[in-house]
């Protein structure tokens, strides 16, 4: 059972402030099928500079950076070595990921930034989620009363939300940074100009998107040089993006929201530069200069819950990451997972995830438009009322109906279940820490792998397709759906950048992951692996994953799908399907002697890159 005497802490009140850009300086949406790509010749290999060294774990002093990419992590370490802090390093790392991971993140997207201030020992968050145009209604993705096919909506101007990433960078630096944006963009600008070494992940992601990239000449010219796939080991350059970063460094991010770059974005969304010969219907969006000019980053309090005597901070809505991970942790609090067998642990983990996702679907949306019961969802009283549904010898049926956190009923569920909509997995996560003890956990995205597939001509970056995270239509017209589109509304997200503090409000671990809705289960499983199962951070990240999202089947990675626990779980009613790869987490951990551990994936997405300023053996 949970430890006695541990007091539960509810969510901090979400008091929203805004940062202006005006300063000078369908019911069930299936995952889209993978397009069949005919064999294609590859581009001749250009001489490659040597790739940065890559390791999934590093231990040392002076600060730490963990990301999916070695060049990006090296950019963050460069900043830390020059005296920058964790916020500076996070911005530099994110900008570099926009070069080397352009199908996952970039200035055409958005994200969530969680910051721990070592001086005040407080946690702060920035909601830099993309927003729908001010003209958007709940029928944004309906044509003749029917939802637009998901695969068609993805690759269109209709799916593009107002980007939040550049203003997130400026907001974070204005509040907590120590360096100017221009200096932090230099490593990324250099990387875009001089090029990076193509790896198999970049090549494979390009191949998976080849068909739709060819719909847009600017995208094809950039990512299919000479009309061919990039070769593993070759050098990939993006001079347009280098010039765009130079413009942001010179003129500030305001140029993306009210300058020349803003005009280019509006034109591209409203008249997608599609190849007429392709026959693709690249539905136009309705993004205006006013949409960009009026965009705001929300500065708001994090969610907070206690777990095993530690305080877990994460993102409040518009993300569902903090509430859903927090509710599941509260449910699991009543079970001693450290003594559970593998079968018992996985059973409890799966069922807690199922319940939390059932409540997420009914209650979580953009709090500027929806009355989200955040504090109630994170109360231990509500978790106990839902957790008693879990039985050791039986499995709950999905889709499970939600409970009512405002009026908890023991073992209660009611109303209509809301199936979990598809969310693209092309997201990336980075974590940074500095010598003063400040920590950043930052998840950013352009949604689908390759985003909308639309490159802003002459600018070198892809636009997001984030608006497809909205429900295209309510699951049940008689039940309110909190995630329908609306004017200026943020679509619900699953991103869950998380920071855990000890009883003295000092950092224990910070982590997060990409993976669409699987982000929530990845963060939950990694936390319990570290805090309950006693795994080192790099092993908790590497452990084979399960993901249950209020669906009939739970997804398992190969290590679990072919493992010994699966038959025992199936014997009590679980149903599984294989998923070759779930998430790609990174994290940093503070040890008792002040040493930092940076950790990333060992295999997923080709393995991640963990670095520290001064390594120790």
The H or E element spanning position 160 is: none
Q: Is 443 a catalytic residue?
A: no
Q: How far apart are CA 142 and CA 456, in angstroms?
A: 26
Q: How far apart are CA 302 and CA 534, in angstroms?
A: 26
The phi, psi pair for 153, rounded to 5°, reads -65, -35
The H or E element spanning position 527 is: helix 518-531
**Residue 289, CB half-sphere, CA atoms under 13 Å: how many?**
8
Query: How far, CA to CA in Å, does 412 sit from each of 15, 65, 335, 547?
Result: 31, 44, 20, 23
Do residues 113 and 166 lie in contact, with contact meaning Cβ atoms separated by under 8 Å?
Answer: no
**Residue 565, CB half-sphere, CA atoms under 13 Å: how many?**
20
Q: How far apart are CA 351 and CA 292, in angstroms?
A: 42
Do residues 464 and 452 lie in contact, with contact meaning Cβ atoms separated by under 8 Å?
Answer: yes
- Cα 49 vs. chain centroid, distance in angstroms? 30
Q: How far apart are CA 131 and CA 459, in angstroms?
A: 21
Alpha helical stretches, state H, 122-259: 150-154, 165-176, 181-194, 200-213, 217-223, 239-251, 254-258
Q: Assign 89 to helix, strand or coil.
A: helix
Q: How far apart are CA 17 and CA 298, in angstroms?
A: 6
* Helix then strand then coil, % of the chain, to nearest 5: 35, 20, 50
Maximum distance among all alpha carbons in the chain? Answer: 69
Query: How far, CA to CA in Å, does 264 sit from each of 261, 317, 521?
Result: 5, 30, 38
Active-site option among 165, 323, 427, 455? 427
> Could you count the other beta carbons within 10 Å of the beta carbon of residue 524?
25
The C-alpha angle 596, 598, 602, rounded to 5 degrees, equals: 155
Q: How far apart are CA 302 and CA 312, in angstroms?
A: 9
The residue to which tokens 């949409």 are assigned = 291
Query: How far, CA to CA in Å, does 461 sit from each of 152, 298, 411, 443?
Result: 21, 24, 49, 18
Query: How far, CA to CA in Å, does 283 sit from each of 270, 279, 490, 605?
Result: 9, 12, 20, 31
The phi, psi pair for 297, rounded to 5°, reads -90, 130
Return the active site residues.
427
């Amino acid at each position: 059972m949970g430890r006695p005497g541990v007091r539960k802490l509810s969510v901090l009140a979400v008091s929203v402030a805004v940062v202006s850009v005006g300063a000078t300086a369908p019911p069930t949406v299936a995952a889209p099928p993978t397009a069949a790509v005919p064999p294609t010749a590859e581009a001749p290999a250009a001489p490659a500079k040597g790739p940065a060294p890559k390791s999934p774990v590093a231990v040392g002093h002076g600060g730490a950076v963990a990301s999916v990419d070695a060049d990006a992590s090296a950019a963050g370490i460069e900043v830390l070595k020059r005296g920058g802090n964790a916020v500076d390093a996070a911005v530099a790392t994110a900008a570099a990921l926009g070069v080397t991971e352009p199908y996952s993140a970039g200035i055409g997207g958005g994200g969530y930034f969680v910051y721990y201030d070592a001086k005040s020992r407080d946690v702060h968050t920035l909601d830099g989620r993309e927003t729908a145009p001010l003209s958007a209604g709940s029928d944004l993705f309906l044509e003749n009363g029917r939802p637009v096919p998901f695969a068609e909506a993805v690759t269109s101007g209709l799916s593009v939300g107002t980007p939040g990433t550049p203003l997130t960078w400026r907001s974070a630096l204005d509040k907590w940074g120590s360096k100017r944006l221009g200096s932090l963009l230099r490593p990324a600008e250099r990387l875009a100009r001089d090029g990076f070494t193509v790896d198999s992940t970049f090549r494979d992601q390009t191949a998976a998107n080849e068909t739709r990239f060819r719909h847009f000449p600017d995208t094809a010219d950039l990512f299919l040089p000479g009309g061919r796939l990039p070769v593993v080991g070759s050098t990939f350059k993006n001079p347009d993006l280098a010039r765009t970063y130079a413009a942001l460094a010179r003129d500030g991010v305001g140029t993306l929201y009210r300058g020349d770059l803003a005009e280019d974005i509006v034109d591209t969304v409203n008249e997608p530069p599609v190849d007429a010969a392709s026959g693709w219907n690249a539905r136009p969006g309705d993004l205006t200069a006013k949409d960009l000019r009026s965009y705001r980053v929300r500065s708001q309090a994090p969610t907070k819950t206690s777990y095993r005597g530690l305080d877990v901070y994460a993102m409040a809505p518009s993300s569902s990451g903090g509430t859903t991970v927090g509710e599941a942790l509260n449910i699991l609090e009543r079970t001693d997972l450290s003594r559970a067998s593998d079968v018992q642990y996985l059973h409890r983990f799966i069922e807690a995830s199922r319940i939390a996702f059932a409540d997420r679907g009914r209650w979580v949306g953009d709090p500027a438009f929806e009355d989200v019961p955040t504090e109630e969802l994170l109360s231990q009283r509500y978790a106990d009322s839902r957790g008693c549904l879990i039985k050791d010898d039986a499995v709950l049926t999905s889709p499970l109906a939600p409970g009512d956190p405002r009026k908890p009923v023991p073992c209660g569920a009611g109303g209509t279940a809301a199936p979990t909509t598809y969310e693209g997995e092309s997201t990336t996560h980075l974590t940074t820490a500095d010598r003063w003890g400040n920590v950043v956990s930052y998840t950013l995205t352009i949604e689908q792998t390759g985003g909308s597939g639309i490159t802003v001509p002459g600018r070198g970056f892809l636009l997001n397709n984030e608006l497809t995270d909205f429900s295209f239509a309510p699951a049940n017209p008689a039940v309110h759906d909190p995630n329908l589109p609306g004017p200026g509304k943020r679509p619900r997200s699953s991103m869950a950048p998380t920071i855990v503090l000890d009883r003295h409000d000092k950092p224990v671990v910070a982590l997060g992951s990409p993976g669409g809705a699987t982000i929530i289960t990845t963060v939950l499983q990694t936390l319990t692996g570290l805090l309950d199962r006693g795994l080192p951070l790099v092993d908790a990240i590497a452990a084979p994953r399960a993901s249950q999202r209020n669906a009939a089947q739970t997804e398992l990675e190969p290590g679990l799908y072919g493992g010994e626990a699966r038959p025992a779980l199936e014997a009590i009613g679980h149903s599984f399907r294989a998923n070759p790869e779930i998430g790609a987490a990174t994290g940093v951990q503070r040890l008792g002697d002040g040493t930092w551990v940076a950790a990333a994936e060992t295999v997923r997405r080709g393995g991640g890159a963990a670095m520290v300023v001064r390594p120790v053996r």
